[in-house]
Copies of this chain bind each other. A is one copy, B any other.
Amino acid sequence: MTLAGENTENQILIAARDVFIIKGYEGARMQEIADQAGINKALLHYYFRSKEKLFEAVFSEVAANLFPAMKHLLEAEIGIKEKITFFVKMYLKALHENPFIPAFVINTLNSNPESFLKYIKKSGVNPILLQTQIEDEVSRGLIRTIKAEHLLVNIIAMCIFPFVARPIVQTIFNMEHDEYQAYLEDRGNEITDFVLKSICI
């Protein structure tokens, strides 16, 4: 592939990513993606054959970047308190940079689990490792007993929810844009605090 071609293919992927993430598969229009990329619509099919294939290219790339950092941190050899602190900080930072990814992934997987779950399967996140560490720290009297599946989901839920449900939460709490931004900043310490106060003895 020549330079021009590779460049175009990338422009398309970037534009498609932007449009699909905001509008979802059904709501996205090939013409809009072409416009966003500043190219002719036929080029989308020249490089990616079909809307479905283009979407798969976007989704698989998004899915591939979903877990590696999380996995790496979960496997790190540090105490669980530090692990949680870092995890929350890292996760909120990632969400701040890509606030629409979670809703996009959730929406895609809910409307079409059979076809897209395969991109999640190879996440490699292993709750057993975390479970082992928990049991170790429990036996050393540092934290109380808790199942890794609950702890992990609790933390991730508290991080993600204010982003996916932003319009609702912001409306119910009567916040302006900047106020909500500050609220999101606050949550870093709040979540860490909340979790540590719950599990530490």
Chain A interface residues (CB < 8 Å from chain B): 22-27, 100, 103, 105-107, 109-111, 113, 117, 120-121, 123, 125, 127, 144, 146-147, 149-150, 153-154, 156-158, 160-162, 164-169, 171-173, 183, 186-187, 190-191, 194-195, 197-199
Structural contact, B117 and A110, CB atoms closer than 8 A: no
* Measured CA separation A183–B153 after assembly (Å): 11
- Cα(A65)–Cα(B100), bound, Å: 26
Number of this chain's copies in the assembly equals 2
Please, how many angstroms separate the alpha-carbon atoms of A107 and B164 in the complex?
8
Q: Is the CB of A24 within 8 A of B195?
A: no
CA distance A36 to B164 in the complex (A): 30
Asked if A121 and B171 sit within 8 Å, CB to CB, the answer is yes
